[in-house]
Amino acid sequence: MRARALTRYAALFGASVLALTGCFAGPAKAPAADVTAKPEFSGTLSILTKFAGDPLSPYFEDLAAAYERKHPGVKVELIQETDQSIKDKTKTLTASDALPDLYFTWTGNWAENFVRGGRASDLTEVIGPDTEWGRTFSKASLSAFAHDGRYYGIPLYNNGKFMGYNKAAFAEAGVGVPTTFEELVDSCPHLRKAGYEPVAFGNKDGWPALHYLQQLFAYHVPREIREADHHPGTATLDDAGYLTALKQFKTLVSACTDTRGGTNGVLYTSAQEAFSRGKAAMYYQEILEFDNATAAGAGAGPRALKPQNLVVRPLPVPEGAKGDPEAIEGAPEGYLVNARSPRAALAVDFMKFVTERRNAKTLSSPPYGQPSTVVGAVTPETSSRAVFQGIETVNKAPRLAGWLDMVTAPEVADAWLAGGEALISGGMSPEEVLESVRRASKSAK
């Protein structure tokens, strides 16, 4: 299992070293795009999104059609991918020097690779916090895409990771919704006896395990140490909190998930469906999934999750945690403008259209439920109760812990991905996982 895991993730993510770093060697092949120029409303504008599939795909499709009606000389070409497929698509387009005019990005090391490689336009003059457009966004979301004091990304929505609870399941099992990590684990036998899978969990793509780990790392490892450990040049990964977190994750998987079904072979979407249909009592999910979790279960049976029964809270803090118990895992996600695009100014204009208040409110409302970073777009009137509650919690959090496979070097992310899968399968112990990540970090220096 260990060899299979390493091979699988080397194939899936190892190429990111080449695609997101090596391919950027040397200067850009064209002059830097002038994003402040007056756009020419003609030609084809290409956009790579992370909105493939229902219920998300109509959002950009409708905006593209509206923009074309507003500017008849413009044709908007959408390349819509899923959360998983966009990673491979972006690497392929980067390696072939065929990035579209606008393309999706996460924050952290993922975005910084494009900046360092000269593939992302410097948008400071049009979206900096003191500009007219920049003032429409939360400052935190803008700063998440800053690099060396310059601003490169257009934040579309904010995001955070929360444990979702079906309170009807807990009532049936005769236990309360957990307030500590230990209570969560202790509730699992009672939920199982009541006929529920305690925690729906699908790790076929590898990254769902890292979401648990990063939140537990934030709880157990002091922020300054954890952030230094994200960078191979300053990493030691010797804080005792890492091992504590790995062991607690292993305990949760063993006690609360359906180990008979082979978690590493279960799709993330299958786990979401199990929760929405009332087969599972808990599901660790992003704010972006809140509305879909309840909508997908509508009419699916007597146990289907109803909106009023969905409780969302940060993953409970373990007792005695010595790290940052107020940190929440999450980060805004957004778009970069191709620095080599002759239509960079048009791309900026299109994103100004996308982030107009009315379109931002639509994005934040059901069925999309993607909480916009535009100030005032997420309200109790425009968004579901769960989405509003989640984004309010994220906005008030003193610190966010970014996605583990995005904040560190690709080689280190590969090691975490392989290690998470091996920890679930029993192919590696927590100590072995941590040592494999240390080796990867040393080799990445």
DSSP 130-184: TSTTGGGB-HHHHHTTEETTEE-EEEEE--BEEEEEEHHHHHHHT-PPPSSHHHH
Tokens standing for residue 307: 């909106």
Backbone dihedral angles phi then psi of residue 281, each to the nearest 5 degrees:
-90, -25
Sign of CA dihedral 356, 357, 360, 365: negative
Q: What pLDDT does 345 receive?
A: 98
Q: Are residues 97 and 235 in the same domain?
A: no
The whole-model pTM stands at: 0.84
Q: What is the DSSP letter of 221?
A: S
Give the Cβ contact number of residue 29 at 10 Å. 8
Q: Which helix (H) or strand (E) element contains residue 381?
A: none
Give the whole-number percent of the chain exceeding pLDDT 90: 80
Nearest-CA neighbor of 402 among 241, 245, 227?
227
In a domain, 18, yes or no: no
Nearest-CA neighbor of 49 among 105, 98, 97?
105
Q: Are residues 262 and 371 in the same domain?
A: no
In tens, the pLDDT along 257-314 reads 986 657 888 888 899 999 999 999 999 999 988 988 886 544 457 788 998 999 999 9
Spatial separation of the C-alpha atoms in residues 289 and 82, rounded to whole Å: 13
In a domain, 111, yes or no: yes
Q: Are residues 98 and 198 in the same domain?
A: no
Q: Quote the crossing angle between the two packed helices 240-256 and 410-425, to the nearest 10°.
A: 40
Spatial separation of the C-alpha atoms in residues 27 and 401, rounded to whole Å: 32
Contact 280, 199 (CB under 8 A): yes
Q: Are residues 59 and 149 in the same domain?
A: yes
Q: Are residues 93 and 139 in the same domain?
A: yes
Spatial separation of the C-alpha atoms in residues 243 and 261, rounded to whole Å: 26
The tokens 């309840």 sit on which residue?
Answer: 294
Q: Are residues 216 and 310 in the same domain?
A: yes
Nearest-CA neighbor of 286 among 212, 358, 350, 347?
212
Q: Are residues 415 and 302 in the same domain?
A: yes
| Confidence band, pLDDT 50/70/90 cuts, at residue 21 | very low
In a domain, 74, yes or no: yes
DSSP H stretches of helix in 267-409 = 268-276, 290-295, 344-354, 357-364, 385-396, 404-407
- Say how many domains are in the chain: 2
In a domain, 394, yes or no: no
Spatial separation of the C-alpha atoms in residues 294 and 298, rounded to whole Å: 7
Question: Would you say residue 444 has pLDDT above 60?
Answer: yes
Domain range enclosing 319: 161-328+405-443
In a domain, 23, yes or no: no
Spatial separation of the C-alpha atoms in residues 63 and 240, rounded to whole Å: 49
Type of residue found at 434: L
Q: Are residues 187 and 97 in the same domain?
A: no
CATH number at residue 193: 3.40.190.10
In tens, the pLDDT along 49-72 reads 999 998 999 999 999 999 999 999
Average pLDDT over residues 238-246: 98
Q: Are residues 166 and 153 in the same domain?
A: no
Tokens standing for residue 154: 């257009």
Spatial separation of the C-alpha atoms in residues 291 and 367, rounded to whole Å: 7
Q: What pLDDT does 247 receive?
A: 98
Q: What pLDDT does 305 receive?
A: 92
Average pLDDT over residues 364-368: 93
In a domain, 383, yes or no: no
Contact 164, 312 (CB under 8 A): yes
- Please tell me which of 18-27, 288-297, 318-327 the model is most confident about, judged by mean pLDDT: 318-327
Contact 361, 143 (CB under 8 A): no
| Confidence band, pLDDT 50/70/90 cuts, at residue 339 | very high
Q: Are residues 96 and 118 in the same domain?
A: yes
Strand partners, 103: 48, 336
Q: Residues near 262 by Cβ (< 8 Å), separated by ≥ 6?
A: none
Spatial separation of the C-alpha atoms in residues 18 and 99, rounded to whole Å: 15
Strand partners, 335: 104, 154
Nearest-CA neighbor of 187 among 207, 155, 165, 157?
165
In a domain, 382, yes or no: no
Q: Are residues 221 and 344 in the same domain?
A: no
Q: Which residue has the higher pLDDT, 140 or 114?
A: 114
Contact 377, 363 (CB under 8 A): yes
Q: What pLDDT does 65 receive?
A: 98
Q: Are residues 40 and 109 in the same domain?
A: yes
Tokens standing for residue 407: 């904040």
Give the Cβ contact number of residue 171 at 10 Å. 13
Spatial separation of the C-alpha atoms in residues 401 and 160, rounded to whole Å: 9
- Report the half-sphere exposure of 102 (CA within 13 A, side-chain side): 32
In a domain, 192, yes or no: yes
